[in-house]
A = this chain, B = another copy of it.
Amino acid sequence: MNTLDQYRTLFNQALEQWTPPDHPRTLYEPVRYILDLGGKRLRPVLVLMAAEISGGRAEDAMGPAMAIEWFHNFSLLHDDIMDQAALRRGKPTVHEFFSPNAAILSGDVMLVDAFRFISQVQPALFPELLDRFSRMAVEVCQGQQLDMDFEQRLNVTRSEYLEMIRLKTAVLLGCSLYCGARTGGATVEQAESLYKFGEQLGLAFQLRDDLLDTYGDPDKFGKHVGGDILQDKKTYLLIHALETATPEDHRMLMSWVGRGGEGPAATPTGTTATDPGQSKPAQPASQAKIAAVRAVFDRSRTRQAAESAIHDHHTRALEALALAGLSSANENVLRDLAEEMLVREQ
C-alpha cells in the first residue's frame, strides 16, 4: 500500500503529463490555472487508493481519478462565479483573473473532458461508471442549487441542510471511492459500502468545516475564524441555533443576521458598512458580531450538537466500511484516512 502522499505524487505526475490541446489557448489557460492552484487532491487520491485496496493497480484507475478531479474543478469554476468568490487558495478566482466568460466556458470544457476521462476504463465497466458518475454530477448541481436557494430562506431545517451538503459535497467523495473500487475489482456490493463510507465521511467533513470556521484554532485559521458568521452563512451551527435557541436568543440572532459586520438591527452604530465613505465594516463591529452570535451558539449548546453530528456520521462511515469486506489492514488504511480528515487539527 502506498501512503496518501505517494498517491498524491502519482496523481500529480499524471497531471503534469496531461497536455491540453494548444488551440484555442484562451480556452485551456484557465483550465491549467485552476489545476495548478494545487490542493490535497483528496478526491483522486481516494480513487487510486480504493482501486489498490480492492486488489487492482492505482495506475489503472487514473482515468476515473482524472475525471473526478476535472469534475471537481469544473464545479469550482462555476460555483465561484455564482458565489462571487474573489479568491481561491489565496489566488484570484478564474472569473476574476480571466473573465466570467472564461470561467463559464473553460468550466464547460472541463465537464465534457471529465466524461472523456471516465471512459478510460475497462469496456465492461464503462456503462456502469458513466451512469454512476453522471448521477453524481446531477446531484452536485442539485446541491449547488439548494445552497443558493437556502440563501433566500431563514427557515432551513437541519435535515434540509444535511441533504444539501450530501448532494453538494458528499456524493463526490462516495463516487470517487465507488469508481476506484470497481476499477480495482471490487464487487458492486463492496463498492456500494465504500460509497456509503465516503458519503458519510463527506457529511462529517463538511460539518467539521462549519465547526472549525467558528471554533477553529485562530493560530491556524487566523482572520478567517468567524467568516461564516460575518457572512450569515446558513451553516449547521446557525441552523441549529435558530432551531433551538430561546425566544430571546432567537430574537438576538435575527437582529444580527443579514447585516454583515454591522451592529444588530435594533442597535444601530454610528458607522456602518453601508456608510458610503467607508469601504470596509469596522473591525470592532465584526468582532462584536462574532462574539454575540457565538454567545448564542454557546447558550444553545450548538457546538456540542455539531460535534455530536460529526461523531454520528463518522460512526456511520465506519459501519459502512466494516461491510465492505476488506482485509483488516486495508480497512485500517481507510479508518486512518477518516481519522486524518475528521479528528486531527487541519
Q: In this assembly, does A115 line the interface, its C-beta being within 8 Å of a C-beta of chain B?
A: yes
Q: Select the stretch in A100-108, A277-285, A296-304, A313-321 that faces chain B.
A: A100-108
> How many monomers of this chain does the complex have?
2
Interface residues of A in 92-121 (CB under 8 A from B): 100-101, 104-105, 107-109, 111-113, 115-116, 119
Give every chain B residue within 8 A of A39 (Cβ-Cβ): none
A112 near B138 with CB under 8 A, answer yes
Q: In this assembly, does A27 line the interface, its C-beta being within 8 Å of a C-beta of chain B?
A: yes
A105 near B24 with CB under 8 A, answer no
CA distance A145 to B21 in the complex (A): 13
A123 near B127 with CB under 8 A, answer yes
B78 near A144 with CB under 8 A, answer no
Query: Of all chain B residues, which has the CB nearest A104?
Result: B78
- From A107, A109, A141, name the one whose CB has the most chain B CB atoms within 10 angstroms: A141
A16 shortest CB reach to chain B, Å: 21
A138 near B113 with CB under 8 A, answer yes
Give every chain B residue within 8 A of A142 (Cβ-Cβ): 21, 23-24, 27, 109
Give every chain B residue within 8 A of A138 (Cβ-Cβ): 109, 112-113, 116
Q: Mask for A125-147, Cβ within 8 A of B = 1, else 0? A: 01100110011011001101110
A119 near B111 with CB under 8 A, answer no
A117 shortest CB reach to chain B, Å: 10
- From A78, A112, A123, A130, name the one whose CB has the most chain B CB atoms within 10 angstroms: A112
Give every chain B residue within 8 A of A27 (Cβ-Cβ): 141-142, 145
Interface positions of A (Cβ within 8 A of B): 21, 23-24, 26-27, 78, 81-82, 100-101, 104-105, 107-109, 111-113, 115-116, 119, 123, 126-127, 130-131, 134-135, 137-138, 141-142, 144-146, 148-149
Given A26-B149, A109-B141, list of 6 further CB < 8 A pairs?
A: A24-B146, A24-B149, A27-B141, A111-B111, A112-B137, A113-B134
Between A and B, 17 residue pairs with Cβ closer than 8 Å are A21-B142, A23-B142, A24-B142, A24-B145, A26-B148, A26-B149, A27-B145, A78-B105, A81-B101, A81-B104, A105-B144, A107-B108, A108-B141, A109-B138, A109-B141, A119-B130, A126-B126
